[in-house]
Structures are given as structure tokens and as C-alpha cells.
Amino acid sequence: MSIDIVDKAMEILKRYPLCDRCLGRLFGYLGKGLGNDERGKALKLVLVMELHRKLQMNEIDLETMKLILLNAQREDFLKNLGEHIEDVERRRCYICGDLIDKWIEEYSQKIATIIQNLKPKSFLVGVSSVQEYVVKEDMIAREFGLGYRENIKRELKREIGKRAAVLTGIKPDFSKPEVIVIIDIAIGSVRIDYPSIILYGYYWKYGRMISQNIWITKSGKMKYPLSVEDIVKFVSQQLKADRYRLHIAGREDVDVRVYGSGRPIAIEFKTMDKNIDMELVEKYLNSVSPWLQFQIKMKVNRAFVIRLKEGARFSRKIYRAIVYTSTPITSESLQKLEEVFKDRVIEQRTPTRVLKRRKDKVRRRKMFKIKTFLISPNLFEALIECEGGLYVKELISGDNGRTKPSFSDVLGCDARCVMLDVLYVHEYI
Ligand SMILES: [Zn+2]
């Protein structure tokens, strides 16, 4: 052991009392294969010898030596040196308060009991609420310029995992564990989490009054008879998954159907079953209602989901709207409509109908083109290609001037969307 290391340890211990493990961890990347407790204990032993030498050579005064030994929690050596000291109170470790060995012992026992019941093939330990200890440790590392230390979170995960593995014979797995056991140091709890399995695909909504999420009214009733979430929840139960989550690229109103390409969706299940059968999931998804159908394409990761949600804000969509007008219109006025809305930026204030839930602001969204078909003097069909995030119903009505321009403006009468379908959602991933 180099004297530099001992000198450094001495400097640290002059200022902070540290237990074997916390001192050892500050030098954690030196001397592979050692536990931090061994490393710290060894450092302290060499330190005692060095202090003894320094004292004999008059290189150190008694007071400084006393201070270092007390902070090293080696008051026993003071007695060995013939120093008469009263029973001094053992100084608690500045970083962990002398709790780290207790944590390792207790949590590995708790985890062993839990995983013995669950019997996963592998597990991983996660640690939360250690911030206050991390802060202290970081401070010491900065103060003394320590570039080879391990951090407390990593040590706890490793040591607890190692012991629980010995107790149970179940292996820790750092990349693909079957279960994750998360300990919370602050409240002393242990909970089980599962790695996520995320399946990507599309859904088609062939009926109206179907919401994306389960919507419970104030009186505790279901607002709509069916939702995308209802179906995912059912599948999650079939798979015996612990939890589920939906990540959907954009959102349509409950009365809007989804045809054509379908809408991209990622479904996340938290389950111990790694080998989730995608065909089976698809079968379950499609077994609930003919009004909602799904196709599962592939497994994806978290980064994919983030891209999916980000992209949906602007990705291109095609809608089909049936528009009713207050006065009869002609093919000429529809032609004008097509011209006005070709490559046009629409300025849209948050629609009146969603003002209660959303912030009032102006959005600018692009219209690429529209194609119209006159059905009867007061009714026409419009195919609308636009950027995601445009409120199509308001594009048609104008929402009392909050959306500009609108179909109502251009046609010179009240236009209203009576039916709306999504035909295409561009996969922006
Ligand atoms: Zn400690």
C-alpha cells in the first residue's frame, strides 16, 4: 500500500469519522476483489502503524494522533499505546452513521425471504432514498480529490444482491433480471418491481363513443361503455401482469373512429414473464370487442416510446369529415375551399370545448391539402391532410373566430363537422 494512500486516508480521518466500509469505499477502485470493509480495515491498520512510527519520530503530536484514531474508530489502539483515556464514546461514521453493515445484513435477509417465495430465475437490487448519504460522500470526494472511489448506492446494490444470492441460490442479473427488488432506506421498505415489456402496434376503432382511457364519472359510473384501456387491462389480467401502461401516438375524440393505417400504440406490461407471446397478446386484445381491433408488430424499448410520443405531436394525419352547412353550397365554393387550404398555416386558439382542461394558447399547425365531395346541397365530405395537433372540428366550425381560417369563414356560412374519422397516422419514429 502506497504511503500516498495512507497519507490521504489520514487527511480524511483528521476531519471525518468513518467506518471501515465508508473509508474503504473512498478507495473502492483500488485493489480489485476486495470488499470495501476489508479495504477500510486494512487501511486503518497501516495507518495505526504509520501513526505509531510518526509519534516515535516526533513527526506528529499526540493530540493529532488521538483525533485520527478516534475518527478511525480505533480507540482501542490509544489504550494499547498506554494512553490513559476514559471510556470515550465511539464516533459515528460521518457518511452512514454506522448503519451500512446493518442495512446490508437486514435487507439481504428481507430480500431473500421475498425472492424465495417468488422463485424468479434472476433478480436485481435497486436502492432508493440514499441521497443524503450520497451528498456527504460526494462532498468528501470533492474535498480530497478522490478519483478512485465507489459510491454508496452501488456498494449497497452489490453487497445486498451478493448476500441474498448466497442465501437463496438465485442469481443476481444486472442486465435482464426477472424481478427487481427495490429497497427504500428511508422508510425501511422492500418492494417488487418488474422490468417492462413494451409491445408496439396499432389499433383501429370501428365504433364511436369509445375513449382511450377508462373514464369514471363523479358518480362512479363508466362514462363510455368501452375504452382502449379496458381492453389492455383485460389482457394484463390474462397475462397475470403486475401493471400495464398505454403510450398512444396522439389522441382522437371519443366520437371519432380510427380506420385506415390505425393509430400507433405501445402497450407496456410489468411482468415476470420475459417470453411474452406477441401472438397470444394480439389474440387477447382482439377477443374483447369487434369495435376495437389491434395488431402487434414488435417489442420495443423505452427510447422508442419517447420518440413515438414526441413524433405524434407533429406527425401527418389524414381525416375524413362529413360537414353540414347552414346554407346550400356549390361545387365552386368547395373548389375555393380546396385552394384556400392548400399548404396553409392555421392559427388556432385552444378550442372552447377543451378550455377547462387545457391551457389557452395559440397553436400554429399546417394544413397540407383537402379534397372535397359534395353529397347533397348542405352536406359534403372532406379528406383533410394536416399536421398532428390540429383540432379538425374547430378547423371546420371556426370556433367563434378562435380558429383562423376555417371552413365557415371561406364558405360564408356555418359549417359543422357531423362525423369524423382518422384514416391515416404517419409513424414518426
Ligand atoms: Zn459508514
Q: In this predicted model, what pLDDT tens digit does every residue of 3-25 receive, in sequence order?
A: 588 999 999 999 999 999 999 99
> Is the pLDDT assigned to residue 82 strictly greater than 80?
no
Non-local (6+) Cβ contacts of 305 within 8 A are: 198, 247, 266, 268
> Which of these three, 257, 286, 312, is where a domain ends?
312
pLDDT attached to residue 84: 66
DSSP code at position 352: G
**Region 29-56 average pLDDT:** 92
Our answer to whether residue 253 is catalytic in this structure is yes
Residues, CB within 5 angstroms of ligand 1 (ion): 19, 22, 93, 95-96, 100
**Could you tell me if 301 and 326 lie in one domain?**
no
pLDDT attached to residue 273: 79
- The alpha carbon of 93 and the centre of ligand 1 are apart by a number of angstroms equal to 5
**Could you tell me if 305 and 333 lie in one domain?**
no
pLDDT attached to residue 275: 80
Is beta strand 179-184 parallel, antiparallel or unpaired with respect to 189-193?
Answer: antiparallel
Q: Would residue 95 count as lying in a domain?
A: no
pLDDT attached to residue 76: 84
- The alpha carbon of 100 and the centre of ligand 1 are apart by a number of angstroms equal to 6
Q: Are 160 and 100 in contact (CB under 8 A)?
A: no
pLDDT attached to residue 279: 95
- The alpha carbon of 96 and the centre of ligand 1 are apart by a number of angstroms equal to 4
**Could you tell me if 144 and 204 lie in one domain?**
no
**Could you tell me if 70 and 173 lie in one domain?**
no
pLDDT-based confidence at 314, cuts 50/70/90?
confident
Range of the domain at 107: 100-193
pLDDT attached to residue 429: 67
DSSP code at position 358: S
> Is the pLDDT assigned to residue 147 strictly greater than 70?
yes
More confident residue, 409 or 1: 409
- The alpha carbon of 317 and the centre of ligand 1 are apart by a number of angstroms equal to 58
Burial call 121-145: b when 16+ CB within 10 Å, e when fewer: ebbbbbbeebeebeebbeebbeebe
- The alpha carbon of 105 and the centre of ligand 1 are apart by a number of angstroms equal to 14
* Nearest-angstrom CA–CA distance, 389 and 63: 72
- The alpha carbon of 256 and the centre of ligand 1 are apart by a number of angstroms equal to 60
**Region 31-43 average pLDDT:** 92
**Could you tell me if 24 and 45 lie in one domain?**
yes
> Is the pLDDT assigned to residue 286 strictly greater than 90?
yes
**Could you tell me if 302 and 336 lie in one domain?**
no
**Could you tell me if 162 and 227 lie in one domain?**
no
Average pLDDT of the chain to the nearest whole number: 93
**Could you tell me if 33 and 69 lie in one domain?**
yes
- The alpha carbon of 188 and the centre of ligand 1 are apart by a number of angstroms equal to 18
**Could you tell me if 107 and 146 lie in one domain?**
yes
Q: Would residue 90 count as lying in a domain?
A: no
Nine cell digits for residue 108? 439481504
Catalytic residue of the set 253, 255, 409, 414: 253
- The alpha carbon of 37 and the centre of ligand 1 are apart by a number of angstroms equal to 10
Q: Would residue 85 count as lying in a domain?
A: no
- What is the Cα 32 distance to its own chain's centre? 33
**Region 135-164 average pLDDT:** 94
More confident residue, 195 or 372: 372
> Which of these three, 177, 193, 209, is where a domain ends?
193
- The alpha carbon of 166 and the centre of ligand 1 are apart by a number of angstroms equal to 23
> Is the pLDDT assigned to residue 1 strictly greater than 60?
no
Is beta strand 122-128 parallel, antiparallel or unpaired with respect to 179-184?
Answer: parallel
> Is the pLDDT assigned to residue 83 strictly greater than 70?
no
> Which of these three, 175, 193, 211, is where a domain ends?
193
Is beta strand 171-172 parallel, antiparallel or unpaired with respect to 122-128?
Answer: parallel
- The alpha carbon of 76 and the centre of ligand 1 are apart by a number of angstroms equal to 19
pLDDT attached to residue 86: 67
Lowest mean pLDDT across 83-92, 134-143, 202-211: 83-92
**Could you tell me if 118 and 140 lie in one domain?**
yes
CATH of the domain at 295: 3.30.70.2510
- Report the number of distinct structural domains present in the chain: 4
**Region 93-116 average pLDDT:** 96
> Is the pLDDT assigned to residue 198 strictly greater than 90?
yes
- The alpha carbon of 234 and the centre of ligand 1 are apart by a number of angstroms equal to 48
pLDDT attached to residue 271: 86
**Could you tell me if 200 and 308 lie in one domain?**
yes
- The alpha carbon of 162 and the centre of ligand 1 are apart by a number of angstroms equal to 19
Q: Would residue 69 count as lying in a domain?
A: yes
Q: Are 192 and 179 in contact (CB under 8 A)?
A: yes
CATH of the domain at 338: 3.30.70.3190
**Could you tell me if 201 and 299 lie in one domain?**
yes
> Is the pLDDT assigned to residue 145 strictly greater than 70?
yes
Q: How many other CB atoms sit within 10 Å of the CB of residue 169?
A: 9
Q: Would residue 91 count as lying in a domain?
A: no
- The alpha carbon of 400 and the centre of ligand 1 are apart by a number of angstroms equal to 67
| Predicted confidence (pLDDT) per residue in 199-245, tens digit | 999 999 999 999 999 999 989 898 999 999 999 999 999 999 989 99
CATH of the domain at 132: 3.30.2300.10
Q: Would residue 402 count as lying in a domain?
A: yes
% of residues, the chain, pLDDT over 70:
98
- The alpha carbon of 77 and the centre of ligand 1 are apart by a number of angstroms equal to 20
> Is the pLDDT assigned to residue 170 strictly greater than 90?
yes
- The alpha carbon of 183 and the centre of ligand 1 are apart by a number of angstroms equal to 18
> Is the pLDDT assigned to residue 174 strictly greater than 90?
no
Q: Would residue 300 count as lying in a domain?
A: yes
Q: Would residue 139 count as lying in a domain?
A: yes
> Is the pLDDT assigned to residue 293 strictly greater than 50?
yes
* Nearest-angstrom CA–CA distance, 13 and 41: 13
> Is the pLDDT assigned to residue 152 strictly greater than 50?
yes
